[in-house]
C-alpha cells in the first residue's frame, strides 16, 4: 500500500503487493481459500476501507435507525446448473439466506439479479425461477426486487445469478470471529462433503454406489432457535467454498485463537468418503451448502447440540472441538490414528464453480 | 398461467405464453423495453408473486420493524469497461444509488458482487475498485459486503458487477406509478442522451466534433432536497435503459394515465443530437445514467424546477409535460413541428450492454 494515499482512499495508485505476483485473476481468486483472502485483504479492503468489511464476516450488520440490519450478497456461477439435491436457483436462495443466518439475523427479503447469455433456454429459466420461488417460500423469505441483463452469445455461460439479502438482527449479539474466546466449543451441524461431491459427480458424469445429493438447505431455522434458547453464540460460519477446514482456519486466523478439533467427531457419510478417496479429495475441504459451525460458550455446548438435533438436517450435530488459550491462530486436528496435524485453508481452488 | 397452481406458486409447470414465442432468451430481453417488461410480467412476477414486485418500481420499499427500507439491485455488464465520463465501477455505484433515490430513500449501504473471467487484469480490477470507492465516498454511501466469483476463461466477459443497495425512506411518501394522477407535472432533470452516445462512441471508436461524456452521476442529493422542500412527489424514475421515452411509456402504462409531453422542452446537447442523427438514434430512447423524471403535483411544478436547478447537473431541469384526465396509458408528444405522436417503449434492444 502506498504511504501517500493520494486520494484518501487508503491505497495508492498502483495495485498493491503481493497481488502484483498475480498480474491476472486466476480461478483460485474465487476459490474461497488463501488467494481469495489475499484478494480481499490486499485489494478490496484497502479500496473500500470501512469497519463493516474489516470484520471479515459473511455479511454486514448495520445500524439502520433504531434497528440492526444484516445485509449480504453472493453471486452463483455453479456448473452444472442442475445437480442431485438442487439447482442454481435453490443455491442462490439458500446460500444468501444462510449468510444472513450466520449474522444472527432472521432472513426477510432477497433481491435477484440475473445475467443471462443470449440463447439461453426460456424453459430452463422458468424452471430455475420456480426453484428460487419454492426455496424462498419454504424459508419464509420474499424476493422483492430484481434485475435482468442479457449478454451476447459467447460472453457469458448460460446464467449467473446474484442474490442479496436483508434481515433483522433480533438480539444485539455480536457474532463474528472477534467474539471467539478460549473455552468456546465448536459445534458442527451435520455431516460434511455432500454438496461438493454431488456437483462433481454431476459435472463429470461419475456414478458412485449411491447417488450423492447436495446438502443444500436453509439454516436460519436452527440458528434462530439457538438464539431463542439463549445459547451464547460467539461465531457462526456456513461451510461453503473451502469446506469445514477452510472455515475453521479462517476463523482461527481472524480471531488469533488456537482451535483443536477431533477428526473422529466429524461425520462424513460412507459414500462421500468413498467418492473422496477415489477422487483424491479430503472431505474436510469439500464445500457444503447446508452445514455450519457454531462457536458457542463452553458451558452451552451440550444444550447447543440438543437444540440443533431437533432439526432433521442437523440430527448429527455435535461438538467437534474447543478453542484453546494459545494465540497461534491455528487449527490443530487430532486424526483418527491419534496424530496431530495443522489444518490450513487451501491456497487456490479445489473445485471451481461449486456455487 | 395454469389455473391449478399445483405448487401454490401462482404459475404452472410450463413456461407461460407468450414467452413460448421466445424459446430462447434474446438480447432484447435485457434491453429495458417491451421484451424485458414481458419477461417480468410473464415469468418473474408469476413465479415470485408478491406485492413488492407487483409495484413495478426501481426498488422495493419494505417495512422493517419501525422503519421503511428501500432495497434494490442491478447487475452491470457494460462494454467497454471504460468510457468518457466513467467506467463500470462508477456506473455500478451510481446506478444502484439512483434506484434507491427513485424510491425516495437516502442511499446508505451497498453490496458488491464481482463475477470475473479468469485472466482478467489485476491492475484493471484495482482501477475499477477504486472508481467504485470514489463514487461511493462522493455520494456518502458505504460498500459493506461483497463476493467474488471467478469463471473459467471463455465463460464470462472480463468483469460483471452486481450491486445491491439499502437506504432509509425518511418520509412515508408512496412514490411509484400508482400515485400518478391527472394534473401532475413531469419534470425532467436535464439534457438527455449523453450516456448512450458516450458508450457507443467508445465502443465503436467513433469521433464526433466534441467528446461526448456520460452523464453518470448520483441523483440522491437533488431527490432528497425535493422531499425536504415538501414537494409532493408522486413518481420518480431514472432514465436508464430505454431512455426518457421508455421510462415515461412504462409509467403511463403502469399508471393507466395519459402523459402529454412537449419535444421542444426536452434539452438535448447539440453534439448528442448530431451523433444521434448520424447513427440513426432518437435521443429520447438513448440511455442516461444521471437523469431522472419526477411526476410532481401540478401546484409544485415551479418550485420543483427551482429546487433542482440549484444542483449543477440539474441546471437545465424543467417541466416537459403534464398528466391528463384521459386513462389511455399513452405518452403523446407534441413534436417541434407541432404534430402529435404517440411515444412508446421499444420492443427490444437499441444498444446492447449499455449498463
pLDDT tens figures, B234-266: 999 999 999 999 999 999 999 999 999 999 999
Asked if the Cβ–Cβ distance from A133 to B67 is below 8 Å, we say no
* ipTM, two decimals: 0.93
DSSP notation for B252-266 = HHHHT-EEEEEGGGS
Asked if the Cβ–Cβ distance from B23 to A122 is below 8 Å, we say yes
Q: For A122-126, A203-207, B151-155, B206-210, which range has the lowest pLDDT when averaged over its residues?
A: B206-210
More confident residue, A308 or A63: A308
Q: Which residue of B has its CA nearest to A137?
A: B9
Could you say which of A30, A117, A125 has the minimum Cβ distance to residue B148?
Answer: A30
Asked if the Cβ–Cβ distance from A166 to B74 is below 8 Å, we say no
Could you say which of A9, A52, A134 has the minimum Cβ distance to residue B145?
Answer: A52
pLDDT value of residue A249: 96
* Mean pLDDT of the region A321-335: 96
**pTM of the prediction?**
0.94
| pLDDT surpasses 90 at B11 | no
**Measured between alpha carbons, how far is residue A143 from residues A20, A69, A96, A130, A147 in Å?**
40, 17, 12, 12, 11
| pLDDT surpasses 80 at B16 | no
For residue B205, with 0-12 CB atoms within 10 Å meaning exposed, 13-18 middle and 19 or more buried, which class applies?
Answer: exposed
Mean pLDDT, chain B, integer: 92
Cα–Cα dist A9/A16, whole Å:
13
Cα–Cα dist A227/A212, whole Å:
32
Cα–Cα dist A229/A309, whole Å:
13
Number of C-alpha atoms within 13 angstroms, CB side, residue B125? 31
pLDDT value of residue B105: 95
Residues 6+ apart with CB under 8 A from B67: A64, A65, A66, A67, B168, B169
Q: For A62-71, A223-232, B54-63, B267-276, which range has the lowest pLDDT when averaged over its residues?
A: B54-63
A81 grid coordinates:
446448473
* Mean pLDDT of the region B89-101: 98
* Mean pLDDT of the region A147-174: 93
More confident residue, B139 or B204: B139
Per DSSP bridges, beta strands B159-169 and A331-334 are unpaired
Residue B349 pLDDT class (50, 70, 90 cuts)? confident
Number of C-alpha atoms within 13 angstroms, CB side, residue A241? 34
Residue B146 pLDDT class (50, 70, 90 cuts)? very high
Cell 391449478 found at = B4
Backbone angles phi, psi at A180, to 5 degrees: -65, 135
DSSP notation for B106-167 = EEEEEEEEEEEETT-BHHHHHHHHHHHHHHHHHHT-EEEEEEEEEE-TTSS-SEEEEEEEEE
In chain B, domain spans: 1-49, 58-169, 177-343
Q: For B50-54, B100-104, B207-211, which range has the lowest pLDDT when averaged over its residues?
A: B207-211
Residues of A numbered 92-151 whose beta carbons fall under 8 angstroms of chain B's beta carbons: which are they?
108-109, 111-123, 125-126, 129-130, 132-134, 136-137, 142-151
More confident residue, A348 or B78: B78
Residues 6+ apart with CB under 8 A from B300: B185, B231, B232
pLDDT value of residue A66: 83
pLDDT per residue as tens digits for the range B148-203: 999 999 999 999 999 999 999 977 668 999 999 999 999 999 999 999 999 999 99
By the 8 A CB rule, do A116 and A151 touch?
Answer: yes
Residues of chain B with Cβ-Cβ distance to A109 below 8 Å are 52, 60, 62, 71
By the 8 A CB rule, do A76 and A95 touch?
Answer: yes
User: B285 touching A, CB under 8 A?
Assistant: no
Cα–Cα dist A304/A292, whole Å:
13
| pLDDT surpasses 90 at B64 | no
pLDDT value of residue B198: 96
By the 8 A CB rule, do B104 and B169 touch?
Answer: yes
Using left for φ > 0, alpha for ψ between -120 and 50, and beta otherwise, residue A169 falls in: beta
For residue A299, with 0-12 CB atoms within 10 Å meaning exposed, 13-18 middle and 19 or more buried, which class applies?
Answer: exposed
| pLDDT surpasses 80 at A268 | yes
Residues 6+ apart with CB under 8 A from B239: B192, B246, B247, B287, B288, B291, B292, B293
Residues of chain B with Cβ-Cβ distance to A72 below 8 Å are 111, 145
User: A221 touching B, CB under 8 A?
Assistant: no
More confident residue, A67 or A320: A320
* Mean pLDDT of the region A121-143: 97
The enclosing H or E element of A195 equals helix A194-204
Asked if the Cβ–Cβ distance from A19 to B152 is below 8 Å, we say no
A27-36, A64-73, A215-224: which is most confident = A215-224
pLDDT value of residue B17: 57
Q: C-alpha A8: how far from its chain's center?
A: 32
Residue B347 pLDDT class (50, 70, 90 cuts)? confident
More confident residue, B294 or B19: B294
pLDDT value of residue B56: 76
CATH number of the domain located at residue range(s) B177-343 in this protein: 3.90.650.10
Strand order in the sheet with A185-188: A233-238, A292-296, A185-188, A318-323, A259-262, A331-334, A340-343
The enclosing H or E element of A201 equals helix A194-204
* Mean pLDDT of the region A285-306: 98
User: B47 touching A, CB under 8 A?
Assistant: yes
Interface test with A, best of B149, B152, B353 (most A CBs within 10 A): B149
Cα–Cα dist A295/A305, whole Å:
12
Cα–Cα dist B330/B144, whole Å:
41
Mean pLDDT, chain A, integer: 92
A181 grid coordinates:
474466546
Looking at domain B58-169, its CATH class is alpha beta
By the 8 A CB rule, do B319 and B298 touch?
Answer: no
CA angle B311, B321, B171 (to 5 degrees): 55
pLDDT value of residue A184: 98
Amino acid at each position: 500500500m502506498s504511504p501517500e494515499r493520494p486520494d484518501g482512499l487508503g491505497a495508492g495508485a498502483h495495485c498493491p503487493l503481493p497481488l502484483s505476483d498475480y498480474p491476472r485473476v486466476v480461478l483460485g481468486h474465487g476459490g474461497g481459500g488463501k488467494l481469495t483472502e489475499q484478494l480481499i485483504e490486499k485489494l478490496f479492503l484497502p479500496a473500500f476501507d470501512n469497519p463493516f468489511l474489516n470484520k471479515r464476516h459473511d455479511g454486514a450488520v448495520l445500524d439502520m435507525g433504531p434497528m440492526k440490519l444484516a445485509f449480504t450478497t453472493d453471486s452463483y456461477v455453479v456448473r452444472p446448473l442442475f445437480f442431485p439435491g438442487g439447482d442454481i436457483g435453490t443455491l442462490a436462495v439458500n446460500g444468501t439466506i444462510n449468510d444472513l443466518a450466520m449474522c444472527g439475523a432472521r432472513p426477510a427479503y432477497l433481491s435477484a439479479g440475473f445475467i443471462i447469455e443470449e440463447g439461453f433456454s426460456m424453459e430452463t429459466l422458468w424452471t430455475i425461477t420456480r426453484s428460487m420461488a419454492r426455496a424462498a417460500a419454504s424459508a419464509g423469505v420474499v424476493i422483492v426486487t430484481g434485475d435482468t441483463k442479457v449478454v451476447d452469445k459467447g460472453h457469458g455461460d448460460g446464467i449467473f445469478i446474484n442474490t442479496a439479502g436483508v434481515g433483522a438482527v433480533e438480539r444485539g449479539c455480536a457474532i463474528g470471529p472477534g467474539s471467539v474466546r478460549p473455552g468456546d466449543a465448536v459445534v458442527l451441524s451435520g455431516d460434511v462433503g455432500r454438496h461438493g461431491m454431488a456437483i462433481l459427480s454431476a459435472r463429470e458424469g461419475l456414478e458412485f454406489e449411491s447417488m450423492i445429493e447436495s446438502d443444500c438447505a436453509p439454516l436460519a431455522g436452527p440458528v434462530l432457535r439457538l438464539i431463542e434458547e439463549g445459547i451464547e453464540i460467539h461465531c457462526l460460519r456456513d461451510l461453503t467454498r473451502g469446506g469445514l477446514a477452510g472455515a475453521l482456519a479462517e476463523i482461527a486466523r481472524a480471531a488469533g485463537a488456537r482451535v483443536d478439533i477431533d477428526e473422529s467427531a466429524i461425520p462424513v457419510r460412507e459414500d462421500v468418503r468413498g467418492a473422496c478417496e477415489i477422487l483424491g479429495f479430503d472431505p474436510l475441504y469439500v464445500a457444503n451448502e447446508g452445514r455450519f459451525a457454531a462457536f458457542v460458550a463452553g458451558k452451552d455446548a451440550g444444550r447447543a447440540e440438543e437444540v440443533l438435533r431437533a432439526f432433521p438436517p442437523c440430527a448429527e450435530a455435535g461438538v467437534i472441538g474447543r478453542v484453546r488459550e494459545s494465540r497461534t491462530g491455528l487449527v490443530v486436528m487430532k486424526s483418527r490414528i491419534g496424530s496431530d496435524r495443522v489444518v490450513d485453508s487451501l491456497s487456490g481452488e479445489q473445485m471451481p464453480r461449486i456455487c
